[in-house]
Structure formats: C-alpha cells, structure tokens
Amino acid sequence: MLSETLVQGQSLTDKALERLLPPATQHPTSIHRAMRHSVFAGGKRLRPILCLEAGRMISGTLPESIEDLGAALEMLHTYSLIHDDLPALDNDDLRRGRPTCHKVFGEATAILAGDALQTQAYQVLAGLRCPAEVRVRIIEEIARGTGTIDGMIGGQVVDLEAEHSPPAVETLEYIHRSKTAALITASVVSGGLYAGANDDAIAKLRTFGHSIGLAFQIVDDVLDVTQTSAQLGKTAGKDSAAEKATYPALFGVDESLKRADKLAGTACAALDEFGYRAETLKSVARFLVERKN
Amino acid sequence: MLSETLVQGQSLTDKALERLLPPATQHPTSIHRAMRHSVFAGGKRLRPILCLEAGRMISGTLPESIEDLGAALEMLHTYSLIHDDLPALDNDDLRRGRPTCHKVFGEATAILAGDALQTQAYQVLAGLRCPAEVRVRIIEEIARGTGTIDGMIGGQVVDLEAEHSPPAVETLEYIHRSKTAALITASVVSGGLYAGANDDAIAKLRTFGHSIGLAFQIVDDVLDVTQTSAQLGKTAGKDSAAEKATYPALFGVDESLKRADKLAGTACAALDEFGYRAETLKSVARFLVERKN
C-alpha cells in the first residue's frame, strides 16, 4: 500500500533525524533550535522515501539503518530551503506552513543553521553503516548532486539570475535538472548504492531519479499557479510574482502536466526489469506527479 | 628552512585549489567567479600548511597528493570567512586586502558561494588518494571540527551572541576553542590520518593542534588591537567596535601574548617524542605566534 510506504518512510526518517540532530538543549541552543525548527516543520520526506524505497527494491527488504542516509538527505534539502528563503534570495516568510527560519531566529542564525545542516549531513554520511568504499561513493554522488555544476546550487544560481527576464526553454531545463532533479537523483542512486546495487542497476535508478525529479519540479511549478498558500503550506503564486522561469509560464498548465506525466512514464519504464519489486517505487513516482501540495 | 616550508605549502595548496575548483568560465560562471574571488585572495594557507607538515612529520616525507586534503581545508576555511563577512553577521567590507565576496557579487551569490565551497570540500575529501577507511575518518574529523558542538559553527554562534555583553572567560574560551582551534586541530589531525598515523600519534597531534589553535586566535585578537587595516588586510579594530569578547579586552595585550607563548610551548612539547622530525611543525607553530598579520 502506497500510504503505508509513505507513513513508514516519514516515521523512520523523523526518528533518525531526532537521533542524529543535536538536541535543542545542547549548547549553543539557538543554532540547534533553528536547525530543528526547519527540519521538523512537517516536511513530506520525499527524498528519504525515494532513497529507502530504492534500497528496498535492490535488497528485497529495507536495508538496515538506511534511514540514516535518508535523514542526511533531508538535512541537505532543509539547508537549501533555509538559504533559499533568506531575504537576499527568495525572501520568503512562510515554508511548510510555518514562519521561515530567519523570521524566527534572525538572518545570522538562519545562515549558520543552513551551514550546520550541510555539515551535519556529511558527518552522518561518513558514519553510515555500510562499507567505507560505499560511503565515499555515496558522499561523492551527493556532493555532486548538490554542487554548482548541474547540481542543486548551480540550479539555484541560474534560477535567481533568470528572474525578471524572458525565460528560455534551455534555461528552464537547466534549472529543473540542477535545482531539483539532481538531489532527487542522488537520493535514489545513494539508496541503491547503500543496498549494494551493481553498475547496471545504478544506471537504471539514475534514469528513474532524473525523470521523476524533472516531473516533480514541473508539478511544483504548476501547484504554485493552481493552489493557494494554505493548500501548499508556502507562499503560492510567488513564481509569477518574481517573474521566475517556470513550465506553466512557458507552456501552460495542461501541457506542463502532460509533460510531467510523460516523464513519470519514462521513470517507471526504467525500472521494468526489476519486475514486481519495483512496484512500490513506481507508485511513489506516480504519487509525486499526482500530489496536490 | 621555515620560509621554504611556508612557500612550498602555499604553492602546493594554490595549485591544488586551481585544479580542484571549477574554472571561472564554467557555467554558471557567477558562482565560480565568486568562489575563486575569495579563495584566491592571498590567504596564507596556514591550515593546509599545518596539515601538510603533520603528514610529513608522520611519513618522513610529504605524502603523495596530500595537498588535495589541504585544498579542501582551505575551501572550508574560506566558506566560513565568506559567511562571517555577510551583512547579517560581521558585515565586513574588506578581507585579505580585497573587497569581500558579497561586496563584489552581491549577498545571494556570496551565500551560495560559501555553501558551494563547503560542498566542494566534501567532494574532494571523498575522492582523496588514501584508503576509503581513512577518507571517512578524515571526513568525520573535519565535519566535527566545523560543526555546532565545540566546532567552528558553534564558536561563530557564541561569538555573535557575545557581542555587546560583558565577556566572561568561559565564553571567550569556548569561542576560541570552537571557532578557531577546532578546524586547526582537524587540519593537523587529518594530515596525520592521511599519512597513516597510529592512535597515539593522533592524540599528540590533537594536543598540538588544539594548543596552537588557541594561541593563533589570541594572536589574532591582539593583532586586531595593535595593527592597522593595511597591515592586516582586513578591517582592524573591529572587535572592540563590535564589543566582541577578546583576550586583550579581558587580560590586556601583554598578558595575552604571554598566554599565546605558553600555549605554543605546550603545543611543541606534545611533539617532543617525534624528535628532529617535528622541527618543521614546531617552527610553523612559533611562526603562527610571532606573526604580524
């Protein structure tokens, strides 16, 4: 059942995050409260869930302690959200239905809380319960996926630079590929690596992650247009307000949703040779495209 | 000769940084230019030099490709400087004699350039030319040294919170230990790990790094009082302007320098059993205490 998968993935991830983040009472408390404020703000834990399910597909069962890897991915995702929301970047007051980190703790602490979540993620990754050879491959994969060349930071840079200028298709595709799909791909691939997948299986997981990551961002752009802030838990309509390059702005809502659907199909087809074992991961992929927030 | 050691360490580090950072022409260029602006701003490369010399002391010769580890340490140091200089933190216009990253590239790019240098550092560490078991130990050591609990970010948080309030000795010592000594310790220890040092040697390197790190920060505080901005290459007198907790503010310049000298003695004594092999590292330690900028 898809809903069980999602609930289990969220619960495992949340417990791992609780264990792996310094307690809020740990000195200096302000930074730890700030980190926890943003991490425990009701995130859907989609990247950890994709990671866990990729691991489960490869192993046939959920690999032991893989939730620590999921937690590290969520720390990295949250660090990027905290920094994206800063006044100098997207200047957003609301995230996951709560005031953003800098609104509560001030800009200085928010900058450092984002920094610290990145640091903590690598500390967790270095201590994962898998062979050291696998750990360094996972770290390289994730660092690349969150870096400046076709990775998360690169996508964020181009996204900011593309504001208030007519969006070109190539720019938009670079942004989607880098800002969103790269970390989602790294999540799926690192789950596979953790479970001991061979190179052929990793290549298929990479295609799956890339396609579903692109579909995810298209749906995100569409929801920004079609949903309210209350439905999204973040400020709706901010893309068009900032004249951001988005899929619906270029192709309209219907065409965008068709494209997302097609990408989900490509993603699922990449997993066909895994047979029934791929069913859960495929259902998560379809959920990502059909979600309403 | 000390000067040869310093020049060789700087040169090896600079070449490694040149090779390991994306070129300025790489898309998206703004972030890569911003990263390089701050990395190649005339830093003294003290952390890499300490790392290289710790490795040389253990191995008897400079371990192959250890400069990649030094470059990663310098990336982490530079990321912390870029973020510390931001308007929301120390709000500094001048660093290493040049305009700070956000003054040239804007706040958004500076925030992302700092983020990216941290990411790039871990990518480099994951690919070091030493056994994977050693790489993950190095990554854990460095992540801890730059983290929130007795690490660099923790020290920075307490440093910011201690502004405009009467400095307590315990607070000051926490700041020095965490903000500065922790990364210097990690630099020395990781150099030893890279060279294959055993646990006993690592413990001695840890004592050395910790003591020299504390001495380094005391001297830094003293220079902020006694030197001009031109001599320092950064804004002088800013600690007292910000009513920061510093050693000279608490104990005066003479007493502070005595304490730095004593710490340097403790540092050097920790290396006595390495005999003549420790001479270079000891001379670097004395240089750090006697420097004028």
pLDDT confidence tier of residue A234, bands split at 50, 70 and 90: low
Dist. CA A193–CA A197, nearest whole Å: 5
What's residue A145's pLDDT?
Answer: 98
What's residue A174's pLDDT?
Answer: 94
Side chain identity, residue B124: V
For residue B129, the chain A residue with the least C-alpha distance is A136
Total residue length of chain A: 293
Residue with the larger pLDDT of the pair A293 and B213: B213
What's residue B228's pLDDT?
Answer: 73
What's residue A150's pLDDT?
Answer: 95
Query: Which of A112, A153, A160 is facing B119, going by the closest CB pair?
Result: A153
Q: What is the distance in angstroms between the Cα of B27 and the nearest Cα belonging to chain A?
A: 7
Q: Mutate which of A25, A115, A142 to test chain B, going by most B C-beta atoms within 10 A?
A: A115
pLDDT, mean of residues A115-132: 98
Query: Which of B28, B111, B148 is facing A111, going by the closest CB pair?
Result: B111
What's residue B25's pLDDT?
Answer: 97
pLDDT of A240 > 80? The answer is no
Q: Mutate which of B119, B150, B183, B193 to test chain A, going by most A C-beta atoms within 10 A?
A: B119
Give me the residue label for tokens 């069962």: A61
Q: Under a CB-based contact definition with an 8 Å cutoff, are residues A69 and A194 in contact?
A: yes
Residues facing B99 on adjacent strands: B94
Per-residue pLDDT of B177-216, as tens digits, reads 999 999 999 999 999 999 999 999 999 999 999 999 999 9
Dist. CA A22–CA A10, nearest whole Å: 19
Q: How many helices (DSSP H) and strands (DSSP E) are in chain A?
A: 16, 2
| Cα dihedral value A48, A277, A285, A16, nearest 10 | -10
Dist. CA A253–CA A249, nearest whole Å: 8
Dist. CA A113–CA A86, nearest whole Å: 12
The average confidence (pLDDT) of chain A is 94
pLDDT of B236 > 80? The answer is no
What's residue A50's pLDDT?
Answer: 98
Give Cα separations from B155 to A5, A28, B115, B147, B217 (angstroms).
41, 9, 18, 9, 12
Residues of A in contact with B149 (CB under 8 A): 22, 26-27
pLDDT of B234 > 70? The answer is no
| Cα dihedral value B169, B171, B174, B176, nearest 10 | -70
What's residue B293's pLDDT?
Answer: 77
Pairing of strands A94-95, A98-99: antiparallel
pLDDT of B107 > 70? The answer is yes
Dist. CA B98–CA A51, nearest whole Å: 43
Q: Under a CB-based contact definition with an 8 Å cutoff, are residues B11 and B52 in contact?
A: no
Architecture of the A2-290 domain: Orthogonal Bundle (1.10)
Dist. CA B56–CA B50, nearest whole Å: 10
Side chain identity, residue A208: F
Neighbours of B61 (CB within 10 A): 9
pLDDT, mean of residues A271-276: 97
Q: pTM of the entire structure?
A: 0.96
Dist. CA A165–CA B196, nearest whole Å: 54
pLDDT, mean of residues A280-289: 95
Per-residue pLDDT of A145-197, as tens digits, reads 999 999 999 999 999 998 877 778 899 999 999 999 999 999 999 999 999 99
What's residue B142's pLDDT?
Answer: 98
pLDDT, mean of residues A265-290: 96
Q: Which of A7-11, A20-24, A92-96, B129-133 has the lowest mean pLDDT?
A: A92-96
pLDDT, mean of residues A88-102: 92
Query: Which of A116, A123, A136 is facing B132, going by the closest CB pair?
Result: A136
